[in-house]
Structure 1
């Protein structure tokens, strides 16, 4: 039998770290749930997705990524505190103990995998052949279930060590360890969260993107070249609005319509966000001209040839919102090719992947 004499490999340390890590798991799960429902809503929810607050997705996805990054030191130190339990002998002592070890195995494996996948996604590095989003979503449910099962199995131990003991010879060392972990969490948050929190941008050292240093003040996830979109000739481009009274517009005609400027954030699943001034035509004005019913859904079609989200759909809460624009200009400048020239969608409280670029067609779907 292996004997571990190191201090702090104990239930009290594991319980304190577990509280923090459990909170991070819960925050990540529910903010991830919001992101998933906004991107792939069930049929009953699609027409009711909220367009307010305009910064809603920016907050939830920024919190999701920041909490996931903060969970890295928490997870590593938690594993350090409990790893001697892996060498217990005999390995299984009872049915309850077997259930506990099985739940721990699933919990640890899923937590590590979710963390690695999430960090790779932040950096837009995908060395695997499967879909990140679907895998991340499925593993999130496994992680939540394994966490709840683990808490249920360990409830007696958690209750016993939840509060500080009156006599605890390791209290000073434990406080030092927890202060160190807290400092690591704080530092990681400060040097990465600047990609979504403007006040922290001067301290952004590890985040893969700095919105304020991006072209036209907004980062680009997929360039025109990556999407297979060549230089779109203005003379041959037409915006087709398909509806009961469908029509087509040249870029010159689109520019002649009433233009509106709105300051809206754009936020992405990688955790970055940026506020910008968008100028263009209100989507509801284009739909009214096409005779679209007020409750109609709209399909937006892009000219892109490669990649996901070539088409997206919008419910009436977005299409009838006065802030939703078919944008032609960004921060006072004509859209660059990478930002969606000649026209792109910008809508409040909507994931960045659904803010369709290189728009060529808008279709009224149905009531």
Structure 2
């Protein structure tokens, strides 16, 4: 006897196109914000050659805002994505699975979109905890898959545009009226999904939005937890630095008029103060009071030309960001300091003792700690 395949039958209007469209609108907004702010973050961390000298140093809170939005929108997208997949998963069992070449390509594009979106949000979530249970480098893969998600999403919207338009609003002609026996109605489901997205956002965004830091229950970091009132991503021990001797420390400034300074000589130069945030790519940020020597003053002593770029080299022995570069906008900003003190006290080793870079509107990973060398670049 030949067996026949009977696909499962799904009843209930909550799996209908109108519900999927309603959730898809919210998910689309979250993805759009996450994608745009992610591009800003990537350019700030890895500027292309044509833009390296023109990255703005103001507003001082610019990167703090965009990266906070990036992580918050990515976390909010998780319950929205799960709800969206729940509303449409019965279509995975549609029979026959491929009605035509066009239908097969459409299903393939959806599969790519779903796989890339799930990969993107969950690897991004793990990045906020600094847990990397995979063999590849997170940043370039996350960036590449973001473009894959964006392209797949645009293609999906273009293909589904007629259906989306038909179910966009309550009065759209294709909208399904739910029968009473279906239990929880569409409005209740949407309210629950929005509440879930709001809850995970409110309980994590305090790591960047400090006015609500007391609600930070699910975030991996609290902005007040850390030595000298500031969190630390990479300790001196992890960087292979340890305690640097003040007597043996030397800062080398390489330029047209190169020179070397001891720590006491650095302390003897005019000291300036700035209130600037540390904003890390993992989503946490915190403002702090910094005191140190302006980088622009050190460049002037070295005879650097006005539009020179600067390479900053750390004393740490390993790490992908032990060397960073600044365009002239950041290098010549009067708020850019080679900081020696944090919140009124000498820098702790984990915060970059004896000297670290602090600049406005710049990713925390580029705020180089344990600075031993500044190089003027033509």
* Total equivalences in the alignment: 366
From 105, 108, 115, give the equivalent of 1:102.
108
- 2:221 equivalent in structure 1: 209
- The answer to whether structure 1 residue 136 and structure 2 residue 142 are counterparts is yes
From 72, 85, 89, give the equivalent of 2:91.
85
- 2:18 equivalent in structure 1: 12
Q: SS state of the match for residue 233, structure 1?
A: coil
**How far 1:99 sits from its partner (Å)?**
2.2
Check conservation: 2:351, 2:369, Cα contact below 8 A: yes
Distance 1:121 1:299 in 2: 27
**How far 1:170 sits from its partner (Å)?**
5.3
- 2:230 equivalent in structure 1: 218
The range that moved more, 93-102 or 176-185, is: 93-102
- The answer to whether structure 1 residue 38 and structure 2 residue 50 are counterparts is no
Distance 1:159 1:60 in 2: 31
- 2:4 equivalent in structure 1: none
From 273, 277, 297, give the equivalent of 1:265.
277
Check conservation: 1:243, 1:292, Cα contact below 8 A: yes
TM-score normalized by the length of structure 1: 0.98
From 335, 341, 351, give the equivalent of 1:329.
341
- 1:233 equivalent in structure 2: 245
Check conservation: 1:58, 1:265, Cα contact below 8 A: yes
From 137, 152, 155, give the equivalent of 2:158.
152
Q: SS state of the match for residue 236, structure 1?
A: coil
The range that moved more, 90-99 or 236-245, is: 90-99
The range that moved more, 312-321 or 209-218, is: 209-218
**How far 1:6 sits from its partner (Å)?**
3.0
Distance 1:31 1:40 in 2: 14
- 1:124 equivalent in structure 2: 130
Gaps of 5+ in 1: none
Distance 2:179 2:373 in 1: 67
- 1:343 equivalent in structure 2: 355
**How far 1:129 sits from its partner (Å)?**
1.3
- The answer to whether structure 1 residue 57 and structure 2 residue 85 are counterparts is no
- 2:317 equivalent in structure 1: 305
Distance 1:325 1:178 in 2: 49
- The answer to whether structure 1 residue 114 and structure 2 residue 114 are counterparts is no
Q: SS state of the match for residue 131, structure 2?
A: coil
Distance 1:76 1:287 in 2: 52
- 1:363 equivalent in structure 2: 375
Query: Which ranges of 4 or more aligned residues in structure 1 deviate by more than 3 Å?
Result: none
User: Structure 1, residues 18-55: CA drift from partner, whole Å, max 9, x if none?
Assistant: 11111111111100000000111111100000001100
- 1:168 equivalent in structure 2: 177
The range that moved more, 309-318 or 172-181, is: 172-181
RMSD: 1.2
